[in-house]
Amino acid sequence: MAGNAGDAVDAGDAARAGSAGGTGNAAGAGSDGGGRAAGEPDTAPGGGMPRWLPRAMVMALALLGAFQLANWAFHQVIGLLVNILIAFFGALAIEPAVDWMAARGVRRGIATGLVFLSVLAAGGLFVVLLGSLLVDQITTIGRNLPNYVDDVVLWLNQTFGTDLSVGKLQDNVLHSDWLRNYVQNQASNVWGLSGAVLGGVFQLFTITLFTFYFAADGPRLRRALCSVLPPSRQAEVLRAWEIAVAKTGGYLYSRALMALISAIAHYVLFQALNVPYAPALAVWVGVISQFIPTVGTYLAGALPALIAFTEDPWDAVWVLGFVVVYQQFENYVLQPRITAKTVDIHPAVAFGSVIAGTALLGAVGALVAIPATATLQGFLGAYVKRYDVTDPRAHGPQRRRGRSLVARIRRRLRRG
């Protein structure tokens, strides 16, 4: 009996345990089923690829394709964007003159055309003068070339003991394969050169057209830009535009005025020394010295000094001395007075901006570097607050009073 009772107890415990286990499994199954019903599973049946991955891959490919398309389109229109940038700075440069004539009753289109004609006349004069100088030099070299060849052949024979003759040299050159190949290559490059010239003419026409529209329709362009901005932003945009016009135009006008004064001063010197091609050389010195920063003065003075040296070495010395003295007069007397109301760029900053512009956009970057720097400097002067420097150490070592050479001479004169 006792054994049967124990077996009955064990059977009951087992039944209760089985019931509890079944209840737990059912609860677990219900919990799993409820989880799947509440949200989608992370993986497909059988542990495959997540369902969100194909959608993400399609989005990534679409973004990559859009980026490649935008990159291709940008490189296709980069030339047009550069032309528009040049035209924008050109319009900023001539807008003060256009505004001045428009304020006196001249229509903006006519005023812009008059400014363009003035710039074209000045540029044409520069090209004609330098072109005449270049043509005369080439003509002189061609006329004297036989004499130059005879002198070179004579020098070679006397120096190295050779037995050369001009006739043999001409036959060797005219019947050489090098000359034949060179002529053929140059003939094949004529079409490429013609295409480059036509492309340059079209680019110049594009820049001129955009510059004309930017200058003639300047007020309309500003109104269109401000119409999409709130009133508070409109004031900032108009102020920035005025600063850009004032600083860019002021800088270029001051440089043009100093170029004119420099050309007149050097023309007087060249005429006094009877240097050939005095008008062309004077214009060359005036333009190059003002629009090429830092090294422009020395590049400009080298050409007239070289031409003067062919006439008389002492004339070359006078030319170099005058170039150096005039540069000091311009830096310390003339330039501060002319640029007092515009903007003056430090020579190191101007030179660095030209190098940076050349590295970014080549010759175009060098052309717009200084106007862009002048505009940026104008923005900084208008928006950046400056304070007085009170610490004397910032000014460097100061000269003692009464210790200068002039003071010592005065003191000795008083004692004497």
Q: Which pTM value belongs to this model?
A: 0.67
For residue 74, what pLDDT is reported? 92
For residue 22, what pLDDT is reported? 45
The pLDDT mean for the chain works out to 80
Q: Give the domain ranges of the chain.
A: 76-163+204-228, 247-384
108 pLDDT band, cuts 50/70/90, is very high
Which whole number is the average pLDDT over 236-253?
A: 83
- 137-141, 308-312, 381-385, 404-408: which has the minimum mean pLDDT? 404-408
pLDDT digits (tens, 9 = 90+) for 89-106: 889 889 989 999 999 999
40 pLDDT band, cuts 50/70/90, is low
Which whole number is the average pLDDT over 250-264?
A: 88
pLDDT value at 274 more than 90: yes
Residues 6+ apart with CB under 8 A from 208: 87, 116
pLDDT value at 276 more than 50: yes
pLDDT value at 410 more than 70: no
Q: 366 with 357: CB under 8 angstroms? A: yes
DSSP 8-state class, residue 330: I
d(CA 122, CA 128) in angstroms, rounded, equals 10
Which whole number is the average pLDDT over 50-55?
A: 85
182 pLDDT band, cuts 50/70/90, is confident
Residues 6+ apart with CB under 8 A from 338: 254, 257, 258
Residue count of the chain, please give it.
416
d(CA 385, CA 382) in angstroms, rounded, equals 8
- 103-107, 127-131, 148-152, 365-369: which has the minimum mean pLDDT? 365-369
